[in-house]
Amino acid sequence: MGDTDRIRRVAQRVERAARDGNGVVVVVSAMGSTTDRLVQQAHEVSPAPPGRELDMLLTAGERISMSLLAMAIHARGLTARSFTGSQAGIITDAVHGKARILDITPGRITEALGGGHVVIVAGFQGVSRESKDVTTLGRGGSDTTAVALAAALGAPVCEIYTDVDGVYTADPRLVPAAQRLREVSHEEMLELAACGARVLQVRSVEYARNHGVDIHVRSSFSWQDGTWVRKATKTMEHPIISGVAHDTSEGKLVIRRVPDKPGVAAQIFTAFADANINVDMIVQNVGDDGTTDISCTLPRAEGPRALQLLEHVSSEIGAHHVTFDDQIAKVSLVGAGMKTHPGVAAAMFRALSEAGVNIEMISTSTIRISVVVRRADVDAAVTAVHEHFGLGGEDAGLGEVIAR
Amino acid sequence: MGDTDRIRRVAQRVERAARDGNGVVVVVSAMGSTTDRLVQQAHEVSPAPPGRELDMLLTAGERISMSLLAMAIHARGLTARSFTGSQAGIITDAVHGKARILDITPGRITEALGGGHVVIVAGFQGVSRESKDVTTLGRGGSDTTAVALAAALGAPVCEIYTDVDGVYTADPRLVPAAQRLREVSHEEMLELAACGARVLQVRSVEYARNHGVDIHVRSSFSWQDGTWVRKATKTMEHPIISGVAHDTSEGKLVIRRVPDKPGVAAQIFTAFADANINVDMIVQNVGDDGTTDISCTLPRAEGPRALQLLEHVSSEIGAHHVTFDDQIAKVSLVGAGMKTHPGVAAAMFRALSEAGVNIEMISTSTIRISVVVRRADVDAAVTAVHEHFGLGGEDAGLGEVIAR
């Protein structure tokens, strides 16, 4: 949300939903400027704010937007009750800044709904099971809160309002011919989100898939339908390709000439996991001198920390040297239909080759092919692949999918 | 607190107290500008924000300052844990905006102290016993939180930091010769606070008296001693007069020619109590025609609401008419010694008369005499009384007391 005008607009939308006779639970984020200001203040008083206190601070953001929204709804003649993550029963683990939801005990919410109130819940936050401390869920936490509550309450749908009107076959800023998808399966959405489609966060889609929650991604600025993310069914269209996603937020770490023996990869990636560094693609090639090169992608911001960690580990395991390249991009092709259609990967590589784009890494799943290319090539790569598979407006027979 | 610079200064002070080997519990208010901004936002979205949501909103203020302070303390090499009112076990009734503390269950605080942490608690807020909703204590709530916690934890002293360096014999802005009191009894402080000395709020002093908590009122800007507020003891100096307080925040309500029969006053003041309007002085004079005039003082801001309430009640009880005068001031003389020294009231009235100040209402307790005068006369009245009783710097034998 942007400011109090925006809050009043949200209240109007909530009123419409509530007047239709629906029990409405609204999950809010902090207002745009609030979080930035709080983070800045934290850095003014501390070079390294402790996680517990940073979470306590940041959760003030949703507290402000949720109570203001309750007031704005009240001003429209309805009653509303706002609840913090803790009050709403969002029970998490104790990893500050990146907590995971362990359980939802929404007793106060069902009670308030039963009393005819609109319920407003602070997204992004919870309370740790053991220490009863306030936690934040990290990136995309509000979406996850919404999906988790929808599951716990047995809601028929979880609507996620965003500043775009759905999920597209490619980022429309890169590919003007990109089309909005009417529906997409949880699995495809998960791959798209994991590959850079920022419209939904991976964790929220994962939660929705695991708990069978339908998500309707739609625009805050219009009343028209957006994209439905649903359980894959027989009646759902299964285009071979749903869309092309890209991600320029990662860097590539290469560990050269690691002795090719058991336990080496485990040692490296355990160190990353312990440091809470999320590694994405991992590729290993065995060389002919008894050593191997291991490459992986991870958030660009984590690069320096990852290098530092590896300095210690790589001398232990006897790696030759480690480099971090922050000028890469990942381009991914996603489609549930590709598992039954051979040759999709070959066609994708051909399209890239014809566009003069070099491939640096390849990683695949049953419904996804991802490649790492130079960051400067990302526009050309996405456009070439999108066009090659006929995902654009003129030739939208094969499918429809991704990315804002 | 003013801003993050101020927070860093407070952290420095806390560190000094903690390094002395003390277990330290710090109660914080919201930063100066925060509350104003939140109130403004509330009014942008709602003409009459519901109390529950306004409390939810305003408590974001202390949340921000307490977590920032914890970070700033952490940055100085100590560990700190911040707790909301609810987490600190501040249990209140459910009167939003004016909640009263019912109980303190400081389990998490003693645990954190035992773990060697500096504890920071959000002042001004609590959680209601029945509904488990977030509440605010209203005006001076942070002082009350501090005193209540000091009592619950058996702390030897509750230090209250403010922008003045203690309690004075009169407001130094009005009376330059006013002197700082070294110590004052709870009872005197209570009268002084009730009569307009804004350095401490009535509720916090009342709580301190009821629970035997020593308060040390001192400046945030220096290390020197301020004023100690203690249980009256034999060894304490007992000046006849402690100080002169004044209050320009009230207005005078006069209900004329009420039938002089039982139950009338009860009916009027029950209506005020039900509406949560705090009435201060009440004076009743019986006339010679079987009717009576009832006057009372109450917060100026409540005037319109009080008049509205009385419109209904006064026709029921047959009152002639009701007026509200917002151009009054209250001047009070406080001193534990006056109960054993007759003639203090007469001397005060004489001083006012000699200064040409007319008295409109009089009300007394065993250790206080209050008069209502024209608001334009308040400076002259305070100066005349302060001088008459020799409370100034040149002649400070009789006593020492009040007001910032």
How many Å separate Cα B205 from the centre of its chain? 8
Give the confidence band of B404 by pLDDT, cuts at 50, 70, 90.
very low
| Residue in B with minimal Cα distance to A31 | B41
Which two tokens mark B239? 């000046």
Residue A398 pLDDT grade (very low, low, confident, very high; cuts 50, 70, 90): very low
pLDDT beyond 90 at B226:
yes
Q: Answer whether residue A234 shows pLDDT above 70.
A: no
Can you give the pLDDT at residue B239?
65
Decide if pLDDT at B396 tops 70.
no
Instruction: Tell me what ipTM this predicted complex has.
Output: 0.77
Instruction: Tell me what pLDDT residue B7 has.
Output: 93
10 Å CB burial of residue B375 (0-12, 13-18, 19+) is middle
Helix and strand tally (H, E) in chain B?
A: 11, 19
Q: Tell me the chain A residues in contact with residue B82 when contact means C-beta distances shorter than 8 Å.
A: 53, 56
Instruction: Give the CA count within 13 Å in the CB-facing half-sphere of A199.
Output: 37
Between B4-19 and B51-74, two packed helices, what is the crossing angle to 10 degrees?
60
pLDDT digits (tens, 9 = 90+) for A200-210: 888 899 999 99
Q: Which of B38, B50, B81 sits opposite A74 (nearest CB)?
A: B50
State the average pLDDT over residues B330-359: 87
Q: Considering all CA atoms of chain B, what is the largest pairwise distance in Å, rounded to the nearest integer?
A: 76
Geometric angle at alpha carbon B39, from B161 and B52, rounded to 5°? 95
Measured between alpha carbons, how far apart are the two ends of chain B, in Å? 18
Is residue B32 predicted with pLDDT exceeding 50?
yes
Contacts for A121 with CB less than 8 Å, ≥ 6 apart: A25, A26, A27, A28, A66, A82, A83, A85, A88, A90, A109, A145, A149
In sequence order, the 6+-apart residues with CB closer than 8 A to the CB of B77 are: none
- Over 90: is that where the pLDDT of A291 sits? no
Among all chains, which residue has been given the structure tokens 């609401």?
B305
Nearest to A335 by CA among A266, A246, A392, A400: A400
Mind telling me how many Å the CA of A251 is from chain B's nearest CA? 31
Residues 33-62 of B with CB under 8 A from A: 38, 41-42, 44-50, 52-54, 56-57, 59-60
pLDDT at A346: 86
Of all residues in chain A, the percent with pLDDT exceeding 90 is 61
**Do B294 and B279 form a contact (C-beta atoms < 8 A)?**
no
Q: Whats the size of chain A, residue-wise?
A: 404
In chain B, % of residues over pLDDT 70: 95
Asked whether the beta carbons of residue B7 and residue A45 sit closer than 8 angstroms, the reply is yes
Which residues in chain B are contacts of A107 at CB distance < 8 A?
Answer: none
Res. A261 pLDDT band, cuts 50 70 90: confident
B109 shares contact with chain A (CB less than 8 Å): no
**DSSP state at residue A331:** E
- Determine the Cα–Cα distance for residues B241 and B224; give it in Å rounded to an integer: 25
Does B45 contact A68 at a Cβ distance shorter than 8 Å?
yes
Banded model confidence at residue B202, pLDDT cuts 50, 70, 90: confident
* Residue A95 and residue B77 in contact, taking contact as beta carbons nearer than 8 Å: no
User: Is it the case that residue A78 has pLDDT exceeding 90?
Assistant: yes
Mean pLDDT of chain A: 88
Structural domains of chain A ordered from first start = 4-232 (3.40.1160.10)
pLDDT tops 50 at residue A399: no
To probe the interface with B, which of A46, A55, A59, A105 has the most B CB atoms within 10 Å? A46
Pairing between β-strand B321-325 and β-strand B361-365 as defined by DSSP bridges: unpaired
Highest mean pLDDT: which of A42-51, A386-395, B235-244? A42-51
- Residues A91, A101 contacting (CB under 8 angstroms): yes
Give the number of other CB atoms < 10 A from CB of residue A76. Answer: 16
Name the pLDDT band for A97 (thresholds 50, 70, 90): very high
Predicted confidence (pLDDT) per residue in B57-85, tens digit: 999 999 999 999 999 999 999 999 999 99
A183-185 and A227-230 beta bridge pairing: parallel
Question: Mind giving me the DSSP string for B263-321?
Answer: THHHHHHHHHHHTT-----EEEEE-SSSEEEEEEEEEGGGHHHHHHHHHHHHHHHT--E
pLDDT for B196: 84
CB atoms within 10 A of CB A260: 14
Of A71, A81, A132, the CB nearest to B46: A71
Q: Which of A56, A66, A80 lies closest to B67 in CB terms?
A: A56
Least confident of A242-246, B230-234, B247-251, B363-367: B230-234
The secondary structure of chain A in percent helix, strand, coil, rounded to multiples of 5, reads: 40, 25, 35
- The 10s digit of each residue's pLDDT in A363-381 is 888 888 999 999 999 999 9
What whole-number distance in Å separates Cα of residue B359 and Cα of residue B380?
13
Query: Is A119 an interface residue toward B (CB < 8 Å)?
Result: no
Give pLDDT tens digits for B348-361.
999 999 999 999 88
Q: Could you give the residue ranges of the DSSP H alpha helices within B20-133?
A: 32-45, 51-74, 107-114
Could you tell me if A385 and A348 are in contact, meaning their C-beta atoms sit under 8 angstroms apart? Answer: yes
Q: Identify the top-confidence range among A148-152, A283-287, B216-220, B275-279.
A: A148-152
Q: Is A94 on the interface with B (CB under 8 A)?
A: no
Reported confidence tier of residue A237, pLDDT bands at 50, 70, 90: low
Question: What was the pLDDT predicted at B235?
Answer: 56
Is the pLDDT higher at B72 or at A403? B72
A327 contact partners, CB below 8 Å, separation of at least 6: A374, A375, A376
